[in-house]
Structure 1
């Protein structure tokens, strides 16, 4: 993309074989704003954690891991849920055999938070707004830059490494989900949210998504790729509504789903009405009958004679 600079100077690690460095996707398309905001945070967090918000499948997590991969910055990644406890982040005791066949011994196993703090890694918590705010309040001291005290391990104290960072992602901004689109989203504690800086990741521009499809499905006809991108944006418009929270349908076509549709269209190229057949697997089957009919009408209008 012309808007993305060829080089960016920021903080990172020397290349290494650390298994916690995310794998790099050479076909990934970066967005200028995301690079600028994430690298600025990684370089100088100013005592903040980073909250990345946006609709489902917009590239929140992949944006972080792809940047970390190119900076050789190890990542401890976990997906939150309503039953997640602080101990899942800190660690717990477990019976571990030193070698296969030997008698197990009790040993403390460090969780992703303790590991990231100790070794200067990024703690990435996905779907943070699904977590119980009472449990997340246990992170407040850590987000303030204070040491982690592990009472379960004899009061061990872990001081935060200078390269330790906390990044979270969520479909909401911590204020709950008034639209009802994202089941399980909880309103988070306002004092906890005050410890984050926020960036919003929306769906990519049509030109960017065209570039993505040209890389993941290069043999797909360009007019088909253009139709897919246009269809995706029409579906999103129905999902978001005019004001962003009054949508007419309850499903959307994320960039992830768009890529799936393109790949499946190539895989089932010989099927009758390949585009519809692939779209059913990519999106329609999990939609209601009314939503499927609306999406099919959009698809037919966009593709015209190609929809057969």
Structure 2
């Protein structure tokens, strides 16, 4: 196994062969996998435009940001491209608990030769920067301001990173790559859906070379993914069930776009619904437990109407409604 710190891609692969995209591009890749390479998901469906944008990051050292609503598979898309290139990959979720010290590093007390000493422990940024590593910042627009300014340093063209505590300048590995995913492209929580997201300053956004948008899949492809995840539905009745489920999901997305709903069904939710159908053997009950109970109570009649429209039955039977009404609140 090649040392990850000194390793580099040792072969070129065809985009047409590897991803099924009509392109003559050749992309660098590794022959061997290591522990940081994501597992390949054989049923994953690639969006051609987003895939080419991500591949530009791997080929030409572009800083690539993938934007889109939740559940579209933004981070997974980057991981699955890396998996097929055997490219080591690490994801960092920029939630409110990630601090500047987590990214940069800090002094820590360790025991060496039975003696306690203080030693600087590198954070994830300098560690990844020195390796042929794809570093993904998830929820990029949720990062705290002090964290974002740390990231801004490695977004410069030369990407050098200064460890002030160590008086050391780290030069990025020639095959270090940087990606980010975001729900709002730095516009903040405009519609109330993504609490905790921040407005990103233009200097931050301007440093990303490529911004791709990943939308929900076409209906046929989404049905194919659900079927691949739940192969028990691979008969005529199962396919009809999946079609009805996706119809409900599409109505929730349209309702969200027009402001009728404050939440929507992502492909991930549809898969959960299909899996729960195998447990509860009732699409209505599985739907309530998968999605309806996550909705605002005032919006549940709208969701119930969507279900009735697509399944030609009420979401709750008369007996279930009566039983719910008698349960003490």
- Relative to the length of structure 1, the TM-score reads 0.88
Contact map agreement 1:83 1:132 (CA 8 A) in 2: no
Q: CA deviation at 1:98?
A: 5.2
Within the candidate set 194, 216, 231, 1:203 is matched to 216
Does 2:193 align with 1:193?
no
Please identify runs of 4+ aligned residues in structure 1 that moved more than 6 A.
none
Q: CA deviation at 1:306?
A: 9.5
Question: Superposition pairs for residues 17-36 of structure 1, below 5 Å?
Answer: 18-36=34-52
Out of 214-223 and 142-151, give the one that drifted further. Answer: 142-151
Matches of 1:97 and 1:292, distance apart in 2: 57
The answer for the alignment partner of 1:293 in structure 2 is 301
For 2:109, what is the secondary structure of its paired residue?
strand
The answer for the alignment partner of 2:85 in structure 1 is 71
Question: Superposition pairs for residues 296-307 of structure 1, below 5 Å?
Answer: 296-305=304-313
For 1:124, what is the secondary structure of its paired residue?
strand
Out of 24-33 and 120-129, give the one that drifted further. Answer: 24-33
Matches of 1:122 and 1:161, distance apart in 2: 11
| 1:204 to 1:166, Cα distance in 2 relative to 1, 3 A | same
- Per-residue deviation, residues 2-57 of structure 1 (Å, max 9, x unmatched): x94399731222222x2211122222222222222211222113xx4211110011
Matches of 2:70 and 2:117, distance apart in 1: 43
Contact map agreement 2:104 2:126 (CA 8 A) in 1: yes
Q: CA deviation at 1:104?
A: 4.5
| 1:50 to 1:91, Cα distance in 2 relative to 1, 3 A | same
Out of 206-215 and 108-117, give the one that drifted further. Answer: 108-117
- Relative to the length of structure 2, the TM-score reads 0.82
Q: CA deviation at 1:228?
A: 0.8
Any unmatched runs of 5+ in structure 1?
242-246
The answer for the alignment partner of 2:254 in structure 1 is 237
| 1:306 to 1:10, Cα distance in 2 relative to 1, 3 A | farther
Within the candidate set 167, 178, 182, 1:170 is matched to 182
Contact map agreement 1:51 1:168 (CA 8 A) in 2: yes
Contact map agreement 2:71 2:267 (CA 8 A) in 1: yes
For 2:53, what is the secondary structure of its paired residue?
helix
Does 2:234 align with 1:217?
no
Contact map agreement 1:11 1:39 (CA 8 A) in 2: no
Q: CA deviation at 1:96?
A: 3.1
Out of 290-299 and 217-226, give the one that drifted further. Answer: 290-299
Q: CA deviation at 1:137?
A: 2.1
- Per-residue deviation, residues 58-104 of structure 1 (Å, max 9, x unmatched): 111110111111111111211012353332212222223459xx555
Contact map agreement 2:133 2:175 (CA 8 A) in 1: yes
Q: Which has the larger radius of gyration?
A: 2
| 1:248 to 1:263, Cα distance in 2 relative to 1, 3 A | same
